[in-house]
Amino acid sequence: DAKTTQPNSMESNEEEPVHLPCNHSTISGTDYIHWYRQLPSQGPEYVIHGLTSNVNNRMASLAIAEDRKSSTLILHRATLRDAAVYYCILRDGLRRASGSRLTFGEGTQLTVNP
């Protein structure tokens, strides 16, 4: 399975944008890039996903490099409630059964300062 690499931790100030990077140099052509986050004492929560094109939703934006070997999750205005562990996960779109499992790596602990 392709592996992702994220910084262990990042800090941001409230109401400022946050760019969370993820490297996935061995990504295959059928791998989707998913982002989940886990707030303290809660289950993981879906944030966004994409394949090749940049994606936007109400929570965040996902910028995918042209060669797909890296991606960046963008929180446009961080709030204190965004403090969480953010996971970048690759999911093989061809493996219908086993491909739907989420393989969590070591995510990025985001701290948001007031």
Partner 1 sequence: AAGVIQSPRHLIKEKRETATLKCYPIPRHDTVYWYQQGPGQDPQFLISFYEKMQSDKGSIPDRFSAQQFSDYHSELNMSSLELGDSALYFCASRGAMKRDEQFFGPGTRLTVL
The stretches of 1-114 forming alpha helices (DSSP H) are: none
Q: Judged by CB under 8 A, how many residues of this single chain contact partner 1?
A: 21
Which of 3, 19, 77, 101: binder of partner 1 (CB under 8 A)?
A: 101
Q: Of 3-11, 18-26, 58-66, 105-113, which segment contacts partner 1 by CB under 8 A?
A: 105-113
HSE at residue 48, side-chain half, CA atoms within 13 A, is 21
Which residue's CB is nearer to partner 1, number 35 or number 82?
A: 35
CA-closest candidate to residue 40, choices 8, 107, 85, 87: 85
Extract the tokens encoding 29. Answer: 């052509």
Query: Closest distance between partner 1 and the C-beta of residue 12, in Å?
Result: 22
Taking residue 73's Cβ as centre, other Cβ atoms within 10 Å add up to 25
Q: Which residues bind partner 1 (CB under 8 A)?
A: 32, 34, 38, 42-46, 49, 87, 91, 97-98, 100-107
